[in-house]
Structure 1
């Protein structure tokens, strides 16, 4: 039988699936890893070990049975950036997406240089810690004369594509997060701004995520078990591959991704630019999406589990479910790594307000879920103002398992969410992209199937209206003090 493989490099693991051409999963593989947090505001990964090494391992596992693999596609966390020499050897650890906030100086300088309004109009979003341009400027500044004209730069999946094929490409979606270096209206590199900000910067070839970009070369075949000459499809950032996997492809479709971070992708009828959200190129040729992302979501629950002695997560969830809506007067700002949308504040930090001696760990977990849900409500409200009421909302990701988190989000936001039967994630979307990319299935093929719908509980509406009002007031009321604390930690680190 013929198969395709989809691989996704996530923040916490690399996952791969082997599927038939009708979307049936025959096998799956996984390798766990974790980002390094060497300094406050920094988040890094080892591209050679965590990206290429893990992908090679899962591919070798899935190819060990000797099945005929017709194509492979890789997605990855992003946008990230790793600088390499011409032989693809990383010069330093890879810098992660918006959770890495080191380039705040560069964000300010580039915004002043090009103009905030001009950047929003041309790129579809304000410069933030999510953008690749300031990260590249930080790397150039740090590298100084060590940055050579032949140096290349990659996001997670494009680094792996280069290791597989030798091709240096970047899909249009990821390129549209390389602000201010991509013109969202023309969907091409903004070469004049690149020369103004980083003169001489070498650029990869632009492709669409479903486009075949090369074939597996000899050394990569030996490392992965793939046959030499196997077609490789470009892929894209993980959230967009996951949206594709669950059929979020029509204008008005909105995906909520429950993971280490909370991520939002809505397909647009037409390109638009609005302050506070991200307009990007989509997965399918010439398409556009509206996106947003919180900096810390599911990672807070992991932190809380560690903090409480590693108690089984199911126990924590049961305890949180027993706590009434509103967590008995507890509210949490989930800004543990700064925040991306909706406040764009790299110096924001987590705040837990209302603690008493009677609050327990279940209260803290519920308050975390409720705080995240309040952020979701803010972002979905901004989406509605910009692009109208979503036609439907599809919930995906590991956080949909168990049901408490999704139920709280529906209750706080007053919205229905559809949960698909197949929630494997981005790797499943990659497998579909691989099949589409080399013409094995028609471009309109959709493997998604709905499992159930989460509906808001009207009995929680009053409690959550009060909670949301308190949540929205708490950030501006504590911002000055929290910024002072964040700067004091950075100053201490800089003296070491």
Structure 2
């Protein structure tokens, strides 16, 4: 039997699978971990203690499975949260904790400076994107300005999966899809690094070799094999971040396919056959040569679910499934619209379409008559409003979708999915996928030619159910969506003022 290994490092959990050439999963393993928030707007993870340690634990568990002992591991792919920024020295030793993707909003002043230094129009023309908290370039600038001793010792600025692949193979690479979020350092049209005007904080020499996610970076070295339990010589692809891998794992691979990922944050990928740019969305290459995406994302989703469950003191001792089951059951005790309570779930700012790291969470409309059930319902609907608001950026930009696929842990939350469908008017198909790690295995199979075309990946994935808009609820929820956007607009100036006062 020929097997393909996929390992994904998520925000709170690492998962791995062994998959055969027909898409059947033969072994699974996982490991939980946490994020670090040392200061407001700072979100980090340790590259060795989390990323590499998790890969080693999960790969060893998979290699110890019965099926691994009687099969050949042909190739593997890794994905991880991103775009992250990790400075390393010439020996691949991390010089600080990895700075995470758009949920880390520390680089607001660097964004302002770069916009002034390069010009917003020039940045958009080069990158196909405006600078936001999702941009890796300003975070590199933050390191140069605030940790000059780290910047002076940095040989490469890596992202999460780049670090893992480098540890596995000894080759320092990054996929075009992730590099496309290193604005303003990546030229979308030429698909090359461009550090013009940014030489004061980074050189092209410090950026990894650009390749496509489906290219082979190298093979597992003897040293990596000793640490991970993987066989020496297993082919390792360049890999990508978790969201594109999730899309592949859900067979969102052809132009017009759109994925909504319900994870710790919300994320959307609309697949294109040519690059398109819009100021309210993120434009980047996809995982296959000649493929591109327009992406959108929220700053929070599952993180707010966990936060509100903690605030409401629900049972956390029996695992997430029980915890979130209790939250959904509590929320069902309140009607659609949460008896007038509206939540702005911007506990870590907000990403598309407002790109506002200073926005903050609000529970609006509370009275003495409201209950814990109303607050629970408002939180779940607030997450849905946030996702629907991000989704609306596609229609506003004139981009149509042919099929919407829902993935991630949040797909178990009926209230959340039905609310999003009712607001957007879009049906969502939930797929039978093991997530980004499954997508990684598919990328590995594609890289060595076992999967002959990207459309063939659809043969690996089966739909489970379809969530249709609830027209009985849609009128109330769409009215609340308008109020949600008005609430943000009415409070954004005050949020910016308070954020400035706190920074001062």
Question: Which TM bucket (shorter chain)?
Answer: over 0.9
Q: CA deviation at 1:194?
A: 4.5
Partner of 1:131: 135
Provide the rounded CA distance (Å) in 1 between the counterparts of 2:325 and 2:371.
16
Structure 2 residue 439 is the aligned partner of structure 1 residue 461: no
- Offset from partner CA, 1:332-384 (integer Å, 9 cap, x none): 11110011111111111001100122322222222122222222232222212
Task: Find the partner of 1:410 among 416, 421, 439.
Answer: 421
**Paired position in structure 1 for 2:10:** 10
**Structure 2 match to 1:430:** 440
TM-score by length of 2: 0.94
What secondary structure does 1:485 align onto? helix
Residues 8 and 430, structure 1, Cα contact 8 Å, conserved in 2: yes
The equivalent of 2:333 in structure 1 is 322
Q: Is the 8 A contact 2:331 2:373 kept in 1?
A: yes
Q: Which consecutive unaligned segments of at least 5 residues does structure 2 have?
A: 316-322
Q: Match for residue 33 of structure 2?
A: 33
Partners of 1:388 and 1:461 in 2: how far apart?
23
Equivalent residue for 1:494? none
Q: In the aligned structure 2, how far is the partner of 1:51 from the partner of 1:25?
A: 23
- Residue in structure 1 matching 2:242, options 228, 238, 241: 238
- Residue 198 of structure 1 aligns to a residue whose secondary structure is coil
Instruction: Kindly indicate whether residue 470 of structure 2 is the aligned counterpart of residue 470 of structure 1.
Output: no
Q: Tell me how far 1:150 sits from its aligned partner.
A: 5.8
Q: Are the equivalent residues in 2 in contact too, given 1:317–1:362 (CA < 8 A)?
A: no
- Aligned counterparts, 1:18-167, within 5 A: 18-65=18-65, 66=69, 67-148=71-152, 151-167=155-171
Give the stretch that moved more between structures: 2-11 or 401-410. 401-410
Q: Secondary structure at the match of 1:341?
A: coil
1:165-210 CA-partner distances (Å, limit 9, x unpaired): 0110000000000000111111111243444663465221111011
Deviation per CA, 1:123-156: give whole Å up to 9, x if none.
1110011111011111122232553476112111
Structure 1: stretches of 5+ with no match in the other structure: 492-496
Alpha-carbon distance, 1:308 to partner: 1.7
Instruction: Identify which of 231, 247, 251 aligns with 1:247.
Output: 251
- Mean CA deviation greater in 437-446 or 263-272: 437-446
Q: d(CA) in 2 for partners of 1:77 and 1:359?
A: 38
- Answer yes or no: is the 8 Å Cα contact 2:277–2:283 preserved in 1: yes
Change in 2 beyond 3 A, CA 1:150/1:356: closer
Residue 206 of structure 1 pairs with residue 210 of structure 2: yes
Q: Is the 8 A contact 2:383 2:416 kept in 1?
A: no
Q: d(CA) in 1 for partners of 2:228 and 2:23?
A: 22
* 1:396 maps onto 2:407 in alignment: yes
Q: C-alpha separation between the residues in 2 aligned to 1:38 and 1:198?
A: 25
Q: For residues 200 and 206 of structure 1, what CA distance do their matches in structure 2 show?
A: 11
Q: Which moved more, 1:399-408 or 1:359-368?
A: 359-368
Please state if 1:479 is matched with 2:492: yes
Residue range with higher mean Cα deviation, 317-326 or 52-61 = 317-326
SS in 1 for 2:370: coil
SS in 1 for 2:57: helix
The answer to whether the Cα contact below 8 Å between 1:180 and 1:193 also exists between their aligned partners in 2 is no
Please report the TM-score for the alignment, with normalisation by the length of structure 1: 0.95
**Is the 8 Å Cα contact of residues 436 and 442 (structure 1) preserved in structure 2?**
yes
Would the aligned equivalents of 2:143 and 2:150 in 1 still touch at CA under 8 Å?
A: no
CA distance in structure 2 between the partners assigned to 1:44 and 1:465 by the alignment: 36
Two-structure CA RMSD over aligned residues (Å) = 1.6
Q: Distance in 1 between matches of 2:427 and 2:255?
A: 18
Taking a change above 3 Å as real, the CA distance of residues 58 and 364 of structure 1, as seen in their structure-2 partners, is same
Matched-pair contact (CA < 8 Å) for 1:40–1:489: no
Instruction: Specify the SS of the correspondent of 2:350.
Output: coil
Q: CA 1:199/1:151 → structure 2, altered by over 3 Å: closer, same or farther?
A: closer
Offset at 1:397? 0.3
Hey, what does 1:259 align to over in structure 2?
A: 263
> Do the aligned residues in 1 keep the contact of 2:101 with 2:133 (CA within 8 Å)?
yes
**How many angstroms apart in 1 are the aligned matches of 2:141 and 2:387?**
31
Structure 1 pair 72–343 and aligned structure 2 pair: CA distance change class (3 A): same
1:310 counterpart = 2:314: yes
Alignment partner, residue 442 of structure 1: 452
The offset of 1:387, in angstroms, is 4.5
Partner of 1:345: 356
Give me the whole-angstrom Cα distance separating, in 1, the residues matched to 2:365 and 2:2.
Answer: 58
